[in-house]
C-alpha cells in the first residue's frame, strides 16, 4: 500500500514538474517573441494613414524628428503622392536650425518648395486663412515628456485652431523616452507661462497623443472645446520601455544622455548656473566660475550658432558637475527627478543671494515657472530635506497619476 502510494505520489509530482516546465518554457518563448518585437512609431506605419490622407489637402506640423525610417516625413509623403499644401514650424523651426527661444520667420522650404509658416514668431497658432485650403492637419513631433518642453503647447494651439475651423487633427504618435517618469509638483496655475501652460507635473509620463486626449478630456482648450482627433498609435510600446531617439529632438538635446537627464537638469534653467549651453553637451554639465576651488571638473561655454549664441558665462571657465557618464539607470530605478544636484550646488555656491536671481541672465526662467511650485525656492534656501520637498507636492501628484490613467493608450 505504501509502495503504491509512493509510486502514485511520484507520478503526480513528475507530472506537475513537467507541466510547470512546459508552462515556463511557453511563457519564456512568449517573452522572447515580445522582446523581439521592435517599437514602431506612428509615422513608420504608413499603411495606417496614407489611404486616409489620399485626396486630401494636408498641412503638417513637423520638424527634423518627423521621419519615416531615416527619411523626413514630408519627403516621404510627397513621394507617396500625398498633397502637402503647407508646413507649420515649431520652436527651432521646421528644419531645426534656430536657437532656443529665437523667433523664427516664415519661409519657403528650399528642398520641397512648400510654404513654411512659423508658429514660433509673429504668431503661435494657425489662422483661419492658414487653414482655408487645408482638409486635415498632421502632427508629428518628438516629445521628451516634460511640462517645460514646448511641443505640447504647440499641440494644444493647433488643436484649438483645428476645432475653430472644423478641421481634423491626425497625430502620428511617438514614444516618450522618459515615459516611465511621473514626478514633480503639478503646475500651480499662478505660474502659468510659455514653459508651463497646463496643470501637469514636471515629468508627465504621456505620449503626445495621450496628452492630446487629456487636453480634450480635461477641458484645457480655450472655452473647453474639443478637437476631433485621429491617432495612429505606436506599435509594440509600453511606457516603461527604454527608447533611444533616432534624431535629436532639439539642438540642445543632442544626446540620449541629455534627453534622459533633462527632467532633472532643466531645473538649472531657473538658477544662476550654466547648464551646458554653449558647449556640445548641454544639460549634462553644470557649473559656474564662482565654484572654482569647490569642484575639479571645468569647461568653458562659447557662442555656438543654432544652439546657444550668448550662453551664460560665455568664454569663462566654469567649475561644477560632469554628468556625461552618470548612470541614468539610477533615475529609472528611483522613478524620480534628481533634486540632489541642485541642492548640492546651492550649498556649494559662495553667493547664495545670486543663486535664484533670474535678473542676472536673460536665458533663465524664474524657478517658480519651471518647477511650478511656490515654496520650492524657499525650501532649498532653508535646507529642507528632499522628503519634505516631495511631501509638499501632494496630494496633487497622486491625484494627477489617477487622472492620467483615463487617457492612456499604452500600458
> Which residue, chain included where needed, has cell 506640423?
61
Strands 318-322 and 285-288: antiparallel
Q: Kindly provide the b/e burial profile for residues 52-78, where b requires at least 16 CB atoms within 10 angstroms of the residue's own CB.
A: ebeebbbbbbbbbbbbbeeebbbebbb
Report CA-CA distances (Å) from 199 to 180, 186, 218, 293, 397. 19, 6, 10, 41, 10
SS3 category, 193:
strand
* Alpha helix stretches (DSSP H) within 266-365: 329-334, 340-348, 352-355
DSSP code string of 4-73: HHHHHHHHHHHHHHHHHHHHHHHHHHHHHHHHHS--B-STT-GGGTHHHHTTSEEEEEE-TT-EETTEEH
Question: Packing angle between helix 208-217 and helix 151-164, nearest 10 degrees?
Answer: 50
pLDDT category of residue 110 using cuts at 50, 70 and 90: confident
Average pLDDT value for the chain: 90
Sorted by sequence, the CB contacts under 8 Å of residue 29 that are 6+ apart come out as none
pLDDT at residue 192 in the model: 95
Least confident of 15-29, 75-89, 109-123, 247-261: 15-29
Residue 9: how many other CB atoms lie within 10 Å: 10
* Contact assessment for residue 215 and residue 406, using Cβ atoms and an 8 Å cutoff: no
For 46-232, CATH gives 3.40.50.12170
SS3 category, 396:
helix
- Residue 353 clears pLDDT 80, i.e. is over it: yes
pLDDT category of residue 37 using cuts at 50, 70 and 90: confident
> Which residue, chain included where needed, has cell 495621450?
210
- Residue 350 clears pLDDT 70, i.e. is over it: yes
Region 329-353 average pLDDT: 97
pLDDT category of residue 71 using cuts at 50, 70 and 90: very high
Region 134-146 average pLDDT: 98
Higher pLDDT, 91 or 34: 91
The pTM assigned to this predicted structure is: 0.88
pLDDT above 70 covers what percent of the chain? 88
Residue 160: how many other CB atoms lie within 10 Å: 19
> Prior bond to 395 cis, omega within 30?
yes
Structural domain boundaries in the chain: 46-232, 256-374
Instruction: Give the CA-trace dihedral at 241, 247, 252, 257, to 10 degrees.
Output: 40
Segment 356-382, tens digit of pLDDT: 987 665 555 689 999 999 999 999 999
Region 343-350 average pLDDT: 98
Residue 190: how many other CB atoms lie within 10 Å: 8
> Prior bond to 183 cis, omega within 30?
no
Amino acid at each position: 500500500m505504501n509502495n503504491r502510494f509512493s509510486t502514485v505520489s511520484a507520478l503526480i509530482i513528475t507530472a506537475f514538474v513537467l507541466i510547470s516546465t512546459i508552462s515556463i518554457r511557453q511563457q519564456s518563448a512568449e517573452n522572447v517573441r515580445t522582446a523581439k518585437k521592435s517599437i514602431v512609431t506612428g509615422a513608420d506605419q504608413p499603411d495606417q494613414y496614407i489611404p486616409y490622407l489620399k485626396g486630401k489637402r494636408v498641412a503638417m506640423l513637423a520638424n527634423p524628428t518627423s521621419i519615416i525610417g531615416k527619411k523626413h516625413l514630408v519627403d516621404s509623403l510627397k513621394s507617396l503622392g500625398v498633397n502637402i499644401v503647407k508646413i507649420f514650424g515649431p520652436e527651432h523651426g521646421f528644419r531645426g536650425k534656430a536657437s532656443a527661444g529665437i523667433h523664427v520667420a516664415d519661409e519657403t522650404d528650399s528642398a520641397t518648395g512648400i510654404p513654411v509658416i512659423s508658429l514660433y514668431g509673429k504668431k503661435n497658432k494657425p489662422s483661419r486663412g492658414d487653414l482655408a485650403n487645408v482638409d486635415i492637419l498632421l502632427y508629428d513631433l518628438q516629445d521628451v515628456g516634460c511640462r517645460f518642453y514646448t511641443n505640447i503647447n504647440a499641440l494644444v494651439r493647433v488643436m484649438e485652431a483645428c476645432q475653430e475651423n472644423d478641421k481634423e487633427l491626425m497625430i502620428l504618435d511617438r514614444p516618450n523616452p522618459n515615459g516611465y517618469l511621473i514626478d514633480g509638483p503639478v503646475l500651480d496655475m499662478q505660474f502659468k507661462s510659455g514653459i508651463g501652460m497646463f496643470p501637469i507635473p514636471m515629468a508627465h509620463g504621456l505620449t503626445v497623443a495621450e496628452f492630446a486626449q487629456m487636453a480634450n478630456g480635461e477641458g484645457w482648450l480655450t472655452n473647453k472645446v474639443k478637437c476631433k482627433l485621429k491617432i495612429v498609435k505606436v506599435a509594440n510600446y509600453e511606457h516603461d520601455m527604454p527608447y533611444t531617439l533616432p534624431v535629436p529632438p532639439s539642438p540642445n538635446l543632442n544626446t540620449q544622455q541629455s534627453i534622459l537627464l533633462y527632467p532633472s537638469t532643466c531645473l538649472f534653467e531657473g538658477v544662476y548656473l550654466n547648464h551646458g549651453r554653449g558647449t556640445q553637451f548641454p544639460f549634462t554639465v553644470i557649473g559656474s566660475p564662482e565654484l572654482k576651488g569647490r569642484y575639479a571638473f571645468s569647461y568653458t561655454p562659447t557662442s555656438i550658432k543654432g544652439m546657444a549664441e550668448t550662453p551664460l558665462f560665455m568664454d569663462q571657465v566654469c567649475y561644477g558637475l560632469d554628468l556625461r557618464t552618470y548612470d541614468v539607470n539610477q533615475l529609472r530605478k528611483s522613478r524620480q527627478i534628481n533634486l540632489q544636484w541642485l541642492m548640492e550646488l546651492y550649498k556649494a555656491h559662495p553667493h547664495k543671494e545670486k543663486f535664484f536671481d533670474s535678473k542676472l541672465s536673460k536665458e533663465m526662467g524664474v524657478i517658480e515657472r519651471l518647477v511650478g511650485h511656490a515654496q520650492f525656492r524657499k525650501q532649498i534656501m532653508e535646507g529642507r530635506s528632499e522628503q519634505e520637498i516631495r511631501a509638499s507636492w501632494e496630494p496633487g501628484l497622486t491625484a494627477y497619476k489617477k487622472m492620467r490613467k483615463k487617457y492612456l493608450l499604452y500600458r
